[in-house]
Amino acid sequence: MEKEDQKKNFGKVVAKTWADEGYKQRLKSDPAAVLKEEGVEIPHGVEVRVVENTEKVFHMVLPHKPASDGLTDEQLDGLAGGSSVPLISGDGTGGFF
């Protein structure tokens, strides 16, 4: 599945959690199953944990450190242009730019 399709499917999951408390609770209790149902591919052996930001708590997720045995130019480009920086607004909500 293409990266853009993954992002779109993930965005739909987030929107559903805002609209449906029961769906959000299902996602929190069995994230891999819910994400799979929505077309978000989770690699075999990867554990998914769902945490929720609040007005007073913002979770900052550190990306996995790449192997230090040398990266290709393509991998370096992906790291430089493909990462997001967390942004916390005055009302305590967060996002990425």
pTM for the predicted model, two decimal places: 0.66
pLDDT tens-place string over residues 37-94: 998 888 899 999 999 999 899 998 888 887 766 667 776 676 655 555 555 555 555 5
Tell me: do 11 and 58 sit in the same domain. no
Note the pLDDT of residue 46: 92
Tell me: do 11 and 47 sit in the same domain. yes
DSSP conformation letters of the chain = --HHHHHHHHHHHHHHHHH-HHHHHHHHH-HHHHHHHTT----TT---------SS--PPPPPPPPPSS---HHHHHHHHHH---EEE-TTS-EEE-
Distance CA 39, CA 8 (A): 10
Tell me: do 70 and 35 sit in the same domain. no
Domain that holds residue 47: 1-52
Tell me: do 6 and 37 sit in the same domain. yes
Note the pLDDT of residue 78: 67
pLDDT tens-place string over residues 16-26: 999 999 999 99
Cβ atoms 88, 94 nearer than 8 A:
yes
pLDDT band at 28 (very low <50, low <70, confident <90, very high): very high
